[in-house]
Structure 1
Amino acid sequence: MKRFIPNTFTMMNLLSGLLALISIFNGFYDHAFLFVCLGIFFDFWDGFLARKLNVSSELGVQLDSLADMVTSGVVPGLMMFKLLENIQLNDSNYMVTEETAYMGFVPYLGFIVTLASCYRLAKFNIDTRQTESFIGLPTPANTLLLMSIPMIQYVDSYEWLLEALNNPYILVVIILVSAYLLNAEIPLFSLKFKKLDWENAKTQIIFLVYSSILLFVLAFTAIPVIIFSYIIFSLILNTTSKK
């Protein structure tokens, strides 16, 4: 029976992703964000439980990637599609003519994230260098980065940021940067706890405390700051370890 516990967590990750998709289709982006967070929570613990219970298996590895493909691949791609589509629908100056017909394809650029996530997940499964750490931004972290965009729009204190995130050109740049970071040859420390003790998890614990403080101070705006801090911290650790 122990073998089914981590796989059940993986299935809950997949279910959370499906509920997030439904929420996006219905325009409930805040619900979608919560379901993605729930899915990432299940994804965080399924591997830990598999190791703790000593029931790691090839089936679990494949299930994990398939669930991540939905929650951290299809969901953020659809979110970027809808954000770009909404900008066009809300633009009173936008009219479909022969000259602007090509603009109707812009929202579909959001699915570049889905394609890049699929490639990253497939590469992760066969890359023996990523057993203890990551190379390239993990798909859950990238998903949080993109799913935070509509949540930041609820924060009225940053009007300049709201204007920027409602600019289709900026969103397309974010999509392209996101796709690059997913598959970039950048070593990043693992965010998953191998063991729950200070000696083996001090980096993760320090980063978790840092992230919690930022979330308390900046709310949803902290998420992109946390993601890019994660990359910067990893680069510093890489330089230190080489020395």
Structure 2
Amino acid sequence: MKQHIPNFITSLNLLSGTLSVFAAFHGLLAEAAILLFLSSLFDFGDGFAARMLKAYSPMGKELDSLADMVSFGLAPMVMLHMMIKQVILGSFDADIFQQSFGVQALMLSPFVATVFSGLRLAKFNVDTRQSDSFIGLTTTATGMFLASLAFVFNQGSGWLFDMLQNQWILLSFVPVFSFLLMSEIPMFSLKFKSFGLKGNADKYVLLLASLFFLIWMGMGGIAITIALYVLFSLAKYLKK
């Protein structure tokens, strides 16, 4: 029975990710973001359960990638699509197919990043270099960044919300994340092998920063923390 526990948790990741897609397409961005955050907990939980129970399986690996593709490859891009649609057309319910081809292309562009998410997950499954750290930004981090912004967008106030009213800022996330997902930039892992300060200083700094930004900005702090994570990783890469 214990062999099926990690796969059950992964299935919950897939279910909440699917519901997040459904909610996002109906303009329920806060609900979609919360469901995606729930997916991220299940994504952590299945790996934790597999390590605790030593319940690894080829099926679990494939199911995990499928769940991540829906939860962190598709759902956040639907949120980004809906945000762009709201800013450009002024309504979640507007018919994009009555617009010009250029406007349609802009609003559908987030799904290009969905393709890069699929490539990122496939690359991770065959890349032996990514056992202790990551090469390129993970789909989970990408999804949580965009879900955080979607939650802020739904709140309708604050400096971060004002920034998200610029369609070009929203559209810039597509090439930026498409590049980061497939880049060769090493991203340090937040997994602790020990709890001492030696070798973990960057992780503790990031965790403290995330706590500060969450208290200060609420859900929007998640996006700021992930941006810091990318900058920290890039700084370490350039230093080496």
For the aligned pair, the TM-score class normalised by the smaller chain equals 0.7 to 0.9
**Could you tell me whether the CA contact under 8 Å between 2:80 and 2:150 is conserved in 1?**
no
- Alignment partners' CA distance in 2, 1:185 and 1:56: 27
How far residue 131 of structure 1 moved from its aligned partner, in angstroms, is: 1.0
Give the AA of the match of 1:198.
Answer: F
Q: Secondary structure at the match of 2:2?
A: coil
The match for 2:76 is 76
The match for 2:225 is 226
- Alignment partners' CA distance in 1, 2:204 and 2:5: 25
The match for 1:133 is 133
Summarize the Cα distance change of 1:205–1:58 in structure 2 as closer, same or farther, 3 Å threshold. Answer: farther
- Alignment partners' CA distance in 2, 1:217 and 1:201: 28
The number of residue pairs the alignment matches comes to 234
- Alignment partners' CA distance in 2, 1:201 and 1:4: 34
Q: Does 1:33 align with 2:24?
A: no
Could you list the runs of 5+ residues in structure 2 that have no partner in the other structure?
none
- Alignment partners' CA distance in 1, 2:161 and 2:120: 30
How far residue 183 of structure 1 moved from its aligned partner, in angstroms, is: 1.0
Superposition CA RMSD, Å: 2.6
Q: Secondary structure at the match of 1:198?
A: coil
Could you list the runs of 5+ residues in structure 1 that have no partner in the other structure?
none
**Could you tell me whether the CA contact under 8 Å between 2:136 and 2:184 is conserved in 1?**
yes
The match for 2:183 is 184
How far residue 104 of structure 1 moved from its aligned partner, in angstroms, is: 2.3
- Alignment partners' CA distance in 2, 1:8 and 1:99: 43
- Alignment partners' CA distance in 2, 1:126 and 1:143: 22
Give the AA of the match of 1:67.
Answer: A
The match for 1:198 is 195
**Could you tell me whether the CA contact under 8 Å between 1:137 and 1:188 is conserved in 2?**
yes
- Alignment partners' CA distance in 1, 2:49 and 2:69: 21
TM-score if structure 1 supplies the norm length?
0.86
TM-score if structure 2 supplies the norm length?
0.87
The match for 1:64 is 64
How far residue 129 of structure 1 moved from its aligned partner, in angstroms, is: 0.4
- Alignment partners' CA distance in 1, 2:24 and 2:199: 35
**Could you tell me whether the CA contact under 8 Å between 2:133 and 2:188 is conserved in 1?**
yes
Give the AA of the match of 1:168.
Answer: Q
**Could you tell me whether the CA contact under 8 Å between 1:80 and 1:111 is conserved in 2?**
no
- Alignment partners' CA distance in 2, 1:171 and 1:90: 14
The match for 2:164 is 165
Deviations along 1:115-170, one digit per CA (max 9) or x if unpaired, are: 11011001110001011110111101001111222222326231xx4343122222
How far residue 175 of structure 1 moved from its aligned partner, in angstroms, is: 1.4
Identity within the alignment, %: 37
**Could you tell me whether the CA contact under 8 Å between 2:13 and 2:38 is conserved in 1?**
yes
Q: Secondary structure at the match of 1:121?
A: helix
Summarize the Cα distance change of 1:100–1:22 in structure 2 as closer, same or farther, 3 Å threshold. Answer: closer
Summarize the Cα distance change of 1:204–1:5 in structure 2 as closer, same or farther, 3 Å threshold. Answer: farther
Q: Secondary structure at the match of 1:3?
A: helix
**Could you tell me whether the CA contact under 8 Å between 1:151 and 1:220 is conserved in 2?**
yes
The match for 2:13 is 13
- Alignment partners' CA distance in 1, 2:85 and 2:156: 21
Q: Does 1:109 align with 2:109?
A: yes
Q: Secondary structure at the match of 1:46?
A: helix
| Comparing 147-156 and 209-218, the one that deviates more | 147-156
